[in-house]
Structure 1
């Protein structure tokens, strides 16, 4: 004769399973990033074409003490609003051996390489502006918005991720998140604020539609 587990036993095991699931999620993802957590190794990108007509990989930047990775594009107003601040950041930290890398994964016409080259020329970008047509780099970083930022230390682990600062349009900045994280990392310290909510336009990920079986 079979015995059914009592409701109390089911409830206990349900709670345990839920707790374990929650713990597993917390150990593999950040508070606002569902893919990466602070302290994780930075995802590696290889041979992404840039507006300089060269191919670029993370390994090319091994001499730098810190790296800022910015997922951005041409078509998002939030991304456009942060351009001058990103240019200023690159200039501010250039002498401190910091690399800035902007990566675009959107595939609408306004964000394709010809438009990227025009943008880079008009704004006189001194940092890399790369295109990933596979969109895999953004997926690996768990980036979902433009702009969205990641600060990598010299160990190439994630030290900060989220917004550039506390003012999406740049008009009332009181907390420069990325700059503060860089200053901490370069001093050998842990940033006091390590993750914030990214604010911007949704990255235009391509949907892989499943074919119906006949």
Structure 2
């Protein structure tokens, strides 16, 4: 009887492990992020390899409809304005399925980018193949990458800062601190934080 129970438990654990192994966990700090080719709001495809002079990237999974994403839009614009000239441009990606969330359609993305005067790519993750590779779960969810001879290494994952409600009340600017460290050739101290935002609509 004990043998039967043990075998049943073993099979159950094995099945659970197999099930979990099929779930993409995404990148961890130190991993090399593969490149992608996604459609920008101007209709052109954009890849990380297109940015020849970049030293790295601020990849932000964001969208139109989410109030958290909207609250951070001006700060995302400011990040691009501050760090593009230092070699770390913003690459924004909308991971949501437009069939599930109509406000995140490609046409709505184009309207949003025009209204907000985005000076950075705003890409659609068609088929939703890229956000699972990264492991993004929220909008916004940020990945700071550093370009190296080995590839684009993930150096920071998480939130933009510690206060989505009030930019003036922010005490910890996680993304800025990470990029500032990389620009100065230093190690990023806070490598990962919890992303706060709307769940991605798959």
Moved beyond 6 Å, runs of 4+: none
Deviations 1:45-84 (A, max 9, x none): 12x1111121111221242012000000001000000000
2:176 aligns with one of 179, 187, 198:
179
Is residue 2:39 matched to residue 1:42? Answer: no
The CA deviation at 1:37 is 1.2
Deviation, 1:41, is 0.2
Q: What do the CA deviations read for 1:8-34 (whole angstroms, capped 9, x no partner)? A: xx9xxx9xxxxxx9xxx9xxxxxxx93
Q: State yes or no: 1:167 paired with 2:163.
A: yes
Instruction: Name the TM-score, length of structure 1 as normaliser.
Output: 0.78
Corresponding residue number in structure 2 for 1:212: none
Distance 1:38 1:52 in 2: 31
- Equivalent pairs counted in the alignment come to 181
Please report the TM-score for the alignment, with normalisation by the length of structure 2: 0.83
RMSD of equivalent CA atoms = 2.3
**Deviation at residue 43 of structure 1 after TM alignment:** 2.8
Q: 1:80 aligns with which of 70, 77, 89?
A: 70
Unpaired segments ≥5 residues, structure 1? 15-20, 26-32, 206-214
Residue of structure 2 in register with 1:51 after alignment: 41
Q: Considering only CA atoms, is the larger Rg found in Structure 1 or Structure 2?
A: 1
1:130 offset after TM fit, Å? 0.2
Q: Which of 106, 127, 130 is equivalent to 1:134?
A: 127
Contact persistence 2:141–2:195 (CA under 8 A)? yes
**Contact kept in structure 2, 1:82 and 1:170, CA below 8 Å:** no
